[in-house]
Amino acid sequence: MDETTVKRTKSAINGLLDVEQFWIDFAPEYNLSEQDIAKVLKKLGKVRDNIDKITGSVEEMVKTVD
């Protein structure tokens, strides 16, 4: 993997950890406000973007090898 893919992977993992911590802090009460939900969705969107970029990079590497 190249450096960019490694950084995106780390960013995606850290984003998921942020979401997990947010969930631990607020979900037991089951009162996520609309603002809290928006924060979670924004973090998940960033994670999704990084994962899409990672999979795209890996697919390109596989095509190059073939």
Reported as a single tens digit per residue, the pLDDT across 27-44 is 766 677 889 889 888 988
Q: What is the pLDDT of residue 11?
A: 87
| pLDDT score for 15 | 86
CB-based contacts of 22, cutoff 8 Å, min separation 6: 36, 39, 40, 43
Highest mean pLDDT pick, 27-31, 46-50, 58-62 = 46-50
Dihedrals φ, ψ of 33, to 5°? Answer: -75, 170
Q: Is the pLDDT of residue 21 over 80?
A: yes
Rounded to whole angstroms, how far apart are CA atoms 63 and 46? 26
Q: Using CB atoms within 10 Å of the CB of residue 26, give its burial: 0 to 12 exposed, 13 to 18 middle, 19+ buried.
A: middle
Higher pLDDT, 10 or 23: 10
